[in-house]
Amino acid sequence: MFFKYFNNQRKQQNNQLNQSEQEDFKVQLFRTIDENIENIKKLYDSPDDLITRKFTIGNTNQECAIIYIAGLTNKTVIDNRIMQSIQIESVESGKNVEVKGDALLNTLHEKVLHSSVSKVVNNLDEVSLAILSGDTALFVNGTDKVLILGTKGWENRSIEEPISEGLIRGPREGFIENIRTNTVLVRRRVRDSNLRFKAYQVGRRSKKQLVVSYIEGIVNPDLVKELNRRLESIDLDDAPESGYIEQWIEDDFLSPFPQLSHTERPDKVASALDQGKIAILLDGTPFVLIAPMTFGNTLQSPEDYYERWIVSSLIRYLRYVAAFIAVFLPSLYIALVSFHPGMIPSKLAFSLAATREGVPFPALIEALLMEATMELLREAGIRLPKPIGQTIGIVGGLVIGEAAVRAGIVSPVMVIIVALTAIASFSMPSYGMALSFRMLRFGFMLIASVLGLYGIILGYIALNIHLVNLKSLGVPYSAPFAPSFYGDWKDLVIRAPITMLTKRPKYTQTGDTERMDNKGGNST
Amino acid sequence: MKSFEYGDGEIGHTEIFYAVASMVIAIGILNLPRDLAQATNYVDGVFSLIIAGLFAILFTWMIASLAAKYPKQSFYSYTASLISRPIAFVITLGLTIHFLLFVAYETRMIGVIAAHYIFDRTPIEVASFSFLMLIVYAVSGSHVGILRLNLMFLPIIVLIAITICLMNLAYFDTENLSPFFTTDLKGYWKGVQESYFSFSGYEILLFYIVLMNRPKKAPKFAALGMIIPVLLYATFYVITIGVFSYDTTQTMVFPTIELAKEVEVPGGFFERLESVFFIIWIMAIFNTAAMAYDVSLLAARSIFKKVKKKTLIFIFSPIIFLAAMFPQNLNEIRTMATYISYSSLFVVVFIPIVLLVIAKLRGIKGSE
Amino acid sequence: MNRVKKGFIIFCMTLILLTGCWDRVEIEDRGFNIGVAIDLEEQRGEEVEQPQGDYVFKGTYQLVVPRGLQQGEGGAGGATKAYQNLVSRSDTMFGQVRNLAEETSRTPFMKHLQLIIISDEVAKKPKVFANILDFFLRDHEMRRGINVFISNGEAGPIFDVDPNPDNLPVMFINSIAENARKRPEMLPEQRIGDIYERLVDHHSYLVPQIKLGGDNNIEIEGAAIIHGHNNRFEEFITGEETEGVRFIKGEYDAGLLKTMIEDNLVVYEVKRADSKIEVNTEDKEQIEFTINISTEGNIGESFETLDYTKPEVMDKVRSALEKEIERIAQTTIKKLHQDLKVDALQLGSYVERKDYKTWKEIKDNWDHGENYFAKSNIKVNAKAMIRTSGSVIQIEK
């Protein structure tokens, strides 16, 4: 409700702005080159990376001009393929370049230039967008049509191993900032004629390219429709990162949990597509969004499928335990130490009491102190250059912990608890979920310090209430536990052998449910 | 916002199965062994318990088939078509109050047990109030959400129950069970009564079957769902008697919690299992209370169609809290429980039978 | 609006939760009470207006001093003792615990209580034993696994025993009590939960005996007989009689039996023992009990040179062993059945199970009043099985 209101307001303001800017230049194309060049220069306010080159074709006096932005284009292509073709080849091969205006443009387009990516456009918006995207515009005197030549080419980061999702076993490729490369990476993994890339433009000003990818026939069409509806509603100035898109289309903005997962790994995207999910790629970021997601997904890593099933299942359990520790351990410690020491085995209780002897703070303050320090260290480690970052970790972890214990500010057990919690939250495969867990941890610590274990269980129930009401793109977040799809459990409770994972997940309600022949594998 | 069919308003038979089991498993088991042991001798109570369980399963089946006869029709609407609008109005209103009292009772019991086993100085009011707030949060979500919570909690609850039973096997003394069949018939009957009351709660089916996508399956799965608590309670009873002997069971306030207390986890992180047990049991009680509240909202909304759900919650919650805090001591709470049980008996036995008979006589068919 | 309301509810909840933390006491501020010893202080004579009990008890409470448990830290300063014994006097247990708060800076905390020792002097007073345990059963803080002992002599000083190599005397006593599995002369630990059952069903029962030996040592051997109908302590039985009790009740875990074969000792190591008790209730005036004890074990030591491969030798040893077991059981039965006439073996419960009708009639006069127990007959049959004779047949030839 509030959003719509704000949106309307913003729209009105934007319209006003656009109108005022439009006074300087004309939103149209002219028949003479000079006018066109002047107009476009005005449009961009003559930046020094806007290259305009006027020339006449061969020995005729046909005036032409190319306009492009330096750096966004591949200069070799422009020089060798465009300029050379027009100037030399056209004349030498005796093609008819004597005609004028439209006819000349067509000749150039159809006969002279051997660029596979080229098109004729006749409005300024498209010309402008093409120039800004790294294409070259060829103007010919005497026509208001413009030939757009594909000369995109700028420096890209090479394809590297993704930093945020390391694997021991698995492909080493990660997405990069260029959406073309990214779609290529996806296509190379899903060689299916039903793979669809649906393009959108996002951003009122920056007009970022956004591609929605799914496999027709597997994906539930309702999901695509719903996603389409949400994407259409996006009204942003600019989307520098897919996080903007995520936050715009998520179901519940009050929720502590991420409702779309993001990844840098093409293999993860490929397997998600295969499960009937939808990937959202945005130009300018290596992070691809995957929707819908469920709570169970956050504790899974692609490597689960690459290793043998027994190992993978056990590692999954390890992660479940880690998730539990990451959220509940400090609050359990507080509850047990401050409220229910009777629940701790006697000998442990006495030694806990001994270690806490002389600590001036109650357990809550002690825990908050240490957890806050931990968070600080983590934040500092991310911001600093890598080599120093690691040092900070060691200095902070060891020195501060040790010194705090020596000074009697915290008890040694607390240091163990905090360290364990930190390690557990580092082991989460999904960074977004790890962030949520960090946040929830503090909530549980506070409630544990008021009502002890009773508070923790109330908090746990509240969290579950939230989970069952939460949806990701209309799919219940708590699926396939509740609602139960027992068939999906073999990829959740355990990671069943690949030969047994014959069905696609039910919660995505796919069109084609069979993943392989029921008899699959050699294991018969 | 359009979303998936299963994500929205409909439930399947699994949800009904879990709902019945979760609704019934609650406070009842905590003091049932004592009441039963007072009525019967040695382990004979288990026979009463099973007889009562069979009755409960039968009634569950009856209620479910009544509600399933009128798919996608609310209780109020088909009752109104059977026995005139004003009577239906009164009955539905009565049910609303019945379920509200149910919530109040559970809320109070949570406070009582928490104050006894977990807290020392924390007032009962605080424990109860925070619990009630949690229920309010739950019911302000969707109906389906509450039914789904059952799916998440019930396995944990059954697991802890089984753990307690298994760990008590070390203290289990088969000699405590015999002699068999020493109780007189009157004792058995009293036992049936006592245990029947602990099986109440499945009247929620009258309202929840409306949400089902294929109501024809409801009676079967509701009855199956009822089997879980019957088996669980019977196991608990036998274990309690085997561990404590029936004389001792009679003298304990909450024998089931004492059962958890008996266990000592060797080398475990938790030494006192009764706190863990009770903590987990809060989930069971929560499920029951949340469903009862949810159903009372469903009932109230079917007769006051114009009132918003939020408004009803804001009106009901203070009433529940006051009702929960009204009894002064355990005995008065028990009296309250007895009243609820009787009204439950009326709801599940009298109303459905009358309605079924009238439906047969007047030949009004649901839109099958 | 929906979300705003939801937020509002959550906000309200947090506000209420923030108003106080009633139960928070940090672990280092708790005084962990791990053991209680009850002695008799005085007997009240004259009537006073204020309600009060007949006896005033002196309770010795052992509290843990966690600092003393820390190792290495104390250094040369002389290690602090890991425990502190506080004495509190009152006519009620609750009063005693309340009084404790005056003496220590820590809040007394009973959830780790593990041991209750009651002196024989206290237990001799009728009903007092049960009255003392009432508090420990009623209070929800108490666990059901608290070990209960009756001390021969004063109970308080037992808590000053030298706990080497442990730190805490209470823990020390409990670990010794656990050794009952290996020492048949000790009665298996009696948990307060077990005694609670006896208090309810009024069967007589046994409580392990604890005694301060010379040299600041403790001895846990033998047991105290408590009469079920008034919960009064009757008499101690010796270690050997306790062994008999364990044979009869089938609680014998492991131990050794010595027997004489031709003036030389043969030692039989009992690996497993079991007992079956049969009841004949045809005549309630003369109920017959038949106790069948069967044991399994090895020859552990043999001073007499015997060829154990020969069946007749085995038979001889076996019958000697069986006689020995019967002798031990008979000693116990003589003490309990003929001398004291108290059914501490809980034979009554067999009658109850076998013939509920008869039991209902005689229940109230079982081992007191009419005392049907004393009128009953008890027979003992023992069976010993020798599984192996060890690695050697005979060491001399």
Residues A93-140 pLDDT 10s: 666 667 777 888 888 888 777 777 788 888 888 888 888 888 888 888
Contact A346 B271 (CB under 8 A): yes
pLDDT of A19 over the 70 cut: no
Query: Which tokens go with A191?
Result: 């060689």
Percent of chain B exceeding pLDDT 90 equals 28
Chain B nearest-CA distance from C17, in A, is 8
C62 and C176 in a single domain? The answer is yes
Q: Which residues of B touch A455 (CB under 8 A)?
A: 130
Domain end marker among A253, A270, A293:
A293
Query: Which tokens go with A387?
Result: 């080599």
A501, part of any domain: no
CA nearest to A350, candidates B63, C114, B52: C114
For chain A, the domain total comes to 3
A268, part of any domain: yes
Query: Which tokens go with C167?
Result: 């730190």
Q: Which residues of C touch A338 (CB under 8 A)?
A: 24-27
* Domain of C187, in residue numbers: 28-237
Chain A nearest-CA distance from C360, in A, is 42
Contact B14 A340 (CB under 8 A): no
A412 and A467 in a single domain? The answer is yes
Q: Which residues of A touch C18 (CB under 8 A)?
A: 450
Q: Which residues partner with A50 through β-bridges?
A: A69
* Domain of A287, in residue numbers: 179-293
- Mean pLDDT, to the nearest integer, of C352-361? 85
For C319-338, the pLDDT digits (tens) are 999 999 999 999 999 988 88
Helix crossing, B330-345 with B185-198: angle to 10°? Answer: 90
Q: Given this model, what pLDDT does residue B40 score?
A: 87
Q: Which of B134, B262, B310 sits opposite C193 (nearest CB)?
A: B262
Burial category of A355 from C-beta neighbours within 10 Å (exposed 0-12, middle 13-18, buried 19 and up) = buried
- The sign one gets for the Cα dihedral B267, A448, B143, A503 is negative
C368, part of any domain: yes
A28, part of any domain: yes
pLDDT interval class at C353 (50, 70, 90) = confident
b vs e for A91-125, b when ≥16 Cβ sit within 10 Å of the residue's Cβ?
Answer: eeeeeebeeeeeebbbbbbeebbebeebebbeebe
Q: Which of B116, B136, B261 sits opposite C143 (nearest CB)?
A: B261
pLDDT interval class at A156 (50, 70, 90) = confident
Contact C17 A455 (CB under 8 A): yes
A365 and A462 in a single domain? The answer is yes
Nearest chain A residue to C109 by CA distance is A342
Q: Given this model, what pLDDT does residue C73 score?
A: 47
Q: Given this model, what pLDDT does residue A96 score?
A: 66
A224 and A288 in a single domain? The answer is yes
A24 and A104 in a single domain? The answer is yes
pLDDT of B339 over the 90 cut: no
C39, part of any domain: yes
For all residues of chain C together, what is the average pLDDT? 84
Let me know: does A186 contact A270? Beta carbons within 8 Å.
Answer: yes
pLDDT interval class at C361 (50, 70, 90) = confident
Contact A465 B149 (CB under 8 A): yes
Nearest chain B residue to C359 by CA distance is B179
CA distances from A362 to A422, B118, C35, C139 (A): 21, 20, 27, 27
CA distances from C292 to A27, C184, C385 (A): 112, 18, 13
Enumerate the domain spans of chain B.
Answer: 13-346
pLDDT of A17 over the 60 cut: no
Cβ under 8 Å to C: A residues 244-273: 254
Q: Given this model, what pLDDT does residue B268 score?
A: 56
Indicate the pairing of strand C255-261 with strand C264-280.
Answer: antiparallel
Contact C200 B245 (CB under 8 A): yes
C217 and C357 in a single domain? The answer is no
Radius of gyration of chain B (CA): 20
A313, part of any domain: yes
A101 and A198 in a single domain? The answer is no
Beta-carbon pairs below 8 A across chains A and B: 116
List subunits contacting chain C, requiring 3 or more Cβ pairs under 8 Å.
A, B
* Residue B165 neighbours by CB under 8 Å, 6+ apart: B235, B236, B239
* Residue C299 neighbours by CB under 8 Å, 6+ apart: C266, C267, C268, C269, C308, C317, C386, C388, C389, C390
Q: Given this model, what pLDDT does residue C9 score?
A: 65
C interface residues, B as partner, C-beta within 8 Å: 2, 5-6, 9-10, 12-13, 16-17, 22-23, 111, 140, 143-145, 193, 196-197, 200-201, 349, 352-354, 356
* Residue B37 neighbours by CB under 8 Å, 6+ apart: B45, B240, B241, B246, B249, B250, B255
Residue in this structure with the two tokens 């003929």, named with its chain if needed: C338
Contact A350 C7 (CB under 8 A): no
Domain end marker among C237, C263, C288:
C237
C343, part of any domain: yes
Percent of chain A exceeding pLDDT 90 equals 24
Contact A363 C26 (CB under 8 A): yes
Q: Given this model, what pLDDT does residue A108 score?
A: 81
Rounded Cα–Cα distance for residues B320 and B325 (Å): 9
Contact C27 A341 (CB under 8 A): yes
A411 and A316 in a single domain? The answer is yes
Q: Which of A254, A356, A451 sits opposite C26 (nearest CB)?
A: A356
Contact B247 C17 (CB under 8 A): no
Contact C26 A349 (CB under 8 A): no
Contact B271 A343 (CB under 8 A): yes
Beta-carbon pairs below 8 A across chains A and C: 75
Rounded Cα–Cα distance for residues C384 and C319 (Å): 8
Contact A474 B4 (CB under 8 A): yes
Rounded Cα–Cα distance for residues A234 and A222 (Å): 19
Contact C140 B129 (CB under 8 A): no
Domain end marker among C213, C237, C261:
C237
pLDDT interval class at C364 (50, 70, 90) = confident
Burial category of B356 from C-beta neighbours within 10 Å (exposed 0-12, middle 13-18, buried 19 and up) = middle
For C223-253, the pLDDT digits (tens) are 999 988 888 898 899 988 999 999 998 888 8
Q: Given this model, what pLDDT does residue B53 score?
A: 93
Q: Which residues of A touch B141 (CB under 8 A)?
A: 465, 468-469
For A456-485, the pLDDT digits (tens) are 999 999 999 999 889 888 888 888 887 878
Chain A nearest-CA distance from B359, in A, is 34
Domain end marker among A249, A267, A293:
A293
Contact A457 B268 (CB under 8 A): no
Residue in this structure with the two tokens 């069970």, named with its chain if needed: B177
CATH T-level assignment (fold) for domain B13-346: Amino acid/polyamine transporter I (1.20.1740)
A245, part of any domain: yes
Q: What is the CATH number of the domain that holds C325?
A: 3.30.300.210
* Amino acid letter for position B224: L
Contact C6 B140 (CB under 8 A): yes
For C105-132, the pLDDT digits (tens) are 888 888 889 999 999 999 998 888 999 9
A279 and A310 in a single domain? The answer is no
Nearest chain A residue to B132 by CA distance is A458
For chain C, the domain total comes to 2
pLDDT interval class at A2 (50, 70, 90) = very low
Q: Given this model, what pLDDT does residue C102 score?
A: 84
Rounded Cα–Cα distance for residues A134 and A151 (Å): 6
SS3 B207: helix
CA distances from B89 to B64, B299, C153 (A): 21, 10, 76
Q: Given this model, what pLDDT does residue A309 score?
A: 92
Contact B179 C352 (CB under 8 A): yes
List subunits contacting chain A, requiring 3 or more Cβ pairs under 8 Å.
B, C
C199 and C264 in a single domain? The answer is no
Q: What count of residues does chain B have? A: 368
A373 and A408 in a single domain? The answer is yes
Beta-carbon pairs below 8 A across chains B and C: 63
Alpha helices in chain B (DSSP H): 13-24, 28-39, 45-69, 75-83, 85-113, 124-139, 143-168, 185-198, 205-208, 218-250, 255-262, 273-303, 309-325, 330-345, 351-362
Query: Which tokens go with A321?
Result: 């335990």
For all residues of chain A together, what is the average pLDDT? 84
Least confident window among B53-62, B117-126, B187-196, B282-291: B117-126
Contact A226 B14 (CB under 8 A): no
Radius of gyration of chain A (CA): 30
Indicate the pairing of strand C83-90 with strand A278-282.
Answer: unpaired
Domain end marker among C237, C257, C291:
C237
Residue in this structure with the two tokens 């030399």, named with its chain if needed: A88
* Residue A188 neighbours by CB under 8 Å, 6+ apart: A266
Q: Which residues of C touch A350 (CB under 8 A)?
A: 32, 64, 66, 69
Let me know: does B34 contact B324? Beta carbons within 8 Å.
Answer: no
Q: Which residues of A touch C30 (CB under 8 A)?
A: 341, 353
CA nearest to C331, candidates C199, C238, C192, C235: C238
Contact B138 A457 (CB under 8 A): no
Least confident window among A379-383, B20-24, B107-111, B149-153: A379-383
C6, part of any domain: no
For B212-260, the pLDDT digits (tens) are 888 888 899 999 999 999 999 999 999 999 998 888 888 888 888 888 8
pLDDT interval class at B105 (50, 70, 90) = very high
Contact C9 B133 (CB under 8 A): yes
For B249-298, the pLDDT digits (tens) are 888 888 888 888 888 776 556 677 888 888 889 999 999 999 999 999 99
List subunits contacting chain B, requiring 3 or more Cβ pairs under 8 Å.
A, C
For chain A, say whether C114 makes contact (Cβ under 8 Å). yes
A186, part of any domain: yes
A336-350, B290-304, B332-346, C277-291: which is most confident? B290-304
Chain B nearest-CA distance from C109, in A, is 12
Q: Given this model, what pLDDT does residue A390 score?
A: 76
A372, part of any domain: yes
Contact A357 C28 (CB under 8 A): yes
Rounded Cα–Cα distance for residues C123 and C126 (Å): 7
Q: Which of C2, C145, C196 sits opposite B264 (nearest CB)?
A: C145
pLDDT interval class at B84 (50, 70, 90) = confident
Nearest chain B residue to A485 by CA distance is B14
Q: Which residues of A touch C69 (CB under 8 A)?
A: 350-351, 354
A363 and A441 in a single domain? The answer is yes
C322, part of any domain: yes
Q: Which residues of A touch B1 (CB under 8 A)?
A: 226, 474
A520, part of any domain: no
